[in-house]
Chain A
């Protein structure tokens, strides 16, 4: 009997263990295939499946040349830096604006508050495609002429990320004890001081959660980067998409390029997963 119990005293479930092991394996296989293929030579990759290299690791020709080829030859190196330059400001800037707005929506009373907030909820659902033709006009040569530059993309991602950020932060802030803010007010703190000294530090978990989501979204975005960045400023995802489009030559670099595009979000994801799950479960879902 004791062998069938886990450390915490619950019965062991062989069925769950088997099914979950299978599912976890199934979910990992495609990525494992990519990782292995990215280290295989062009000839090997074209003449046999990646699993043959896995089963016979000493008979296969391993190489890192795909990575150097993608990084310098296909310019994934500058795409990688562009991705960072695009993604980091586009993650941090919306949070600042949204945090103030979320504070107002949570702790202040004002006319049309409900209407403003409902508008925020409504635009969360609106497809971002609505903004392309008008924003190409405003940011493009007929307007400000900044289309193609980083700032155009920062602005767009800030606008597109704002509704969700305000919504997430407001949901989190409304779980903070109101009495803290009330007592700060009695002590003579202005709203500005209350925000910086109390509410912003207390909201760090939600901010971290949104930052993770927004970073992944901006880094992984194809549409905005493709339309609003000129080719020397473009991101690693656009580079990968262009490489996918060219059949034949450079195919062996594709897997290495894909891995280069995955590695940063994966690191961010693994390190901040804890925050993200907490934020997702406390912010997006309460019902």
Chain B
């Protein structure tokens, strides 16, 4: 392999200098070396990664495997592209020009196709099959889930999450972005860092953190949960907050966790949009006698509308797939279930792959309009470029 590369690399530059016509002809050596190189690299990488899988003990420690994986993955990808490029360049010029783009997108696109595009169709297929995906049962899975009250209550909860969380996150982001813009540079940086920080925290850790806020101790004992401590000091009885489904209180308390996690994201994008609003438009409005409030609604908001929509859609997509927070905190009990959690429990606790995939298909139908929106958004952006 190494001999092949070192022999082929100088040849390429020599040829190009000697004879400009050479690049237009077929170069069988390049084709052969490129092809063999690619096959060898894929073979070697495949074996190495399979060895990680089957004989992890041969590598001594996990750290060795991790380091080897990084080197092999990144280096291997570079080597594959090197040989792929050599192979395509060896082809006659006209063919080569046409093929290089496909060679560049092939590895990345193949992975997307394997991990996302093929499974999408396979999942739709499985949704018409039985619980271990071995025989077709027609529409039975859909009949079962549509007849399940848990499914409908999950849908209601999902809709509630979708109505509340993205709107609150965007509103909060706008308020923070506007207010922090009025602080001194250091004050702004500091305040924004603190609000941004939860973005680094996983949902599981966030639930652990908020467990200290929602904790319950029996009446008479000292309350260790912040919310109950405040509640009892105001004269109330301690509550098991996450079990109160009246007015969907427990779902709303779980939403607070997600809002806490996502607010920083909205703030960062909206803040940079607000800083991009030209000062002279604000100045003109001030000269015309507009108050700060009017300026905000009639000058600033229209100019950051695009960002607001982008943030809203991004958070909306996150919320649509909300799983971790519900799974870890209540696992959908006490009327807090959501679609993604129902899916997880159907697939793994109940081993009902048919019903589980049918639930994913419902989720898939729900995101379809967003796909259309994203594409439209992209086209508009391209038109403005």
Contacts and interface: CB of A to CB of B under 8 A. Distances in A.
B356 interface: yes
A159 B112 contact: yes
Nearest to B309: A287
A101 interface: yes
- What's the interface size class on A, roughly? 35 or more
A96 B225 contact: no
Nearest to A46: B224
A1 interface: no
B184 A50 contact: no
Contacts of B159: none
Interface residues of B, number: 121
Interface string B335-350: 0000010011001100
B104 A100 contact: yes
B33 interface: no
Interface in B175-200: 176, 179-180, 182-185, 187, 190-191, 193-200
Contact of B195 (A23, A93, A122): A23
Contacts of B52: 149-151
B378 interface: yes
Contacts of B269: 280-281, 284-285
A3 to B, nearest CB: 13
Contacts of B155: none
Given A20-B191, A149-B56, A129 B340 contact: yes
B74 to A, nearest CB: 5
Given A16-B180, A222-B204, A287-B381, A98 B226 contact: no
A42 B128 CA distance: 51
Interface string B197-211: 111111111011111
A43 to B, nearest CB: 12
Interface in B100-115: 100-102, 104-105, 107-109, 111-112, 114-115
B73 A92 contact: yes
B247 to A, nearest CB: 23
Contacts of A186: none
Contacts of B226: 29-30, 33, 49, 51
A20 B357 contact: no
Interface string A219-232: 11111000100000
B34 to A, nearest CB: 11
Contacts of B378: 117-118, 121
Given A92-B73, A151-B53, A269-B197, A50 B367 contact: no
Contact of A166 (B102, B108, B120): B108
A255 B363 CA distance: 34
A184 interface: no
B197 A133 contact: no
B140 interface: no
Contact of A163 (B114, B116, B375): B116
Contacts of B208: 34, 240, 244, 254-255, 257-258
Given A100-B81, A158-B111, A216-B200, A223 B323 contact: yes
Interface in B295-331: 306-307, 309-311, 314, 317, 320-321, 323-324, 327-328
B321 to A, nearest CB: 5
A100 B108 contact: yes
Contact of A85 (B66, B117, B272): B66
B363 A129 contact: yes
B197 A101 contact: no
B353 interface: yes
B273 interface: yes
B141 interface: no
A257 B310 CA distance: 35
A223 B126 contact: no
A126 B113 CA distance: 12
B205 A287 contact: no
Contact of B224 (A50, A154, A266): A50
8 closest residue pairs by CB, A with B: A159-B115, A287-B306, A220-B202, A85-B66, A269-B200, A104-B104, A131-B119, A258-B208
Interface of B: 16, 49-50, 52-53, 56, 62-63, 65-66, 69-70, 73-74, 77-78, 81-82, 85, 89, 98, 100-102, 104-105, 107-109, 111-112, 114-120, 122-123, 126, 133, 176, 179-180, 182-185, 187, 190-191, 193-205, 207-213, 221-226, 229, 260, 263, 265, 268-269, 272-273, 306-307, 309-311, 314, 317, 320-321, 323-324, 327-328, 340, 343-344, 347-348, 353, 356-357, 360, 363-364, 367, 370-371, 374-375, 377-378, 380-381, 384-385
Given A96-B74, A119-B112, 17 more contacts: A12-B184, A20-B187, A30-B212, A47-B222, A51-B226, A101-B105, A129-B321, A132-B347, A133-B119, A219-B202, A220-B204, A222-B328, A237-B204, A244-B207, A266-B197, A281-B269, A285-B307
23 contacts: A27-B198, A30-B212, A50-B212, A50-B224, A88-B66, A100-B108, A101-B105, A121-B371, A122-B374, A125-B371, A129-B340, A130-B360, A133-B126, A137-B133, A220-B204, A223-B344, A240-B208, A244-B207, A269-B197, A270-B200, A277-B272, A285-B307, A286-B306
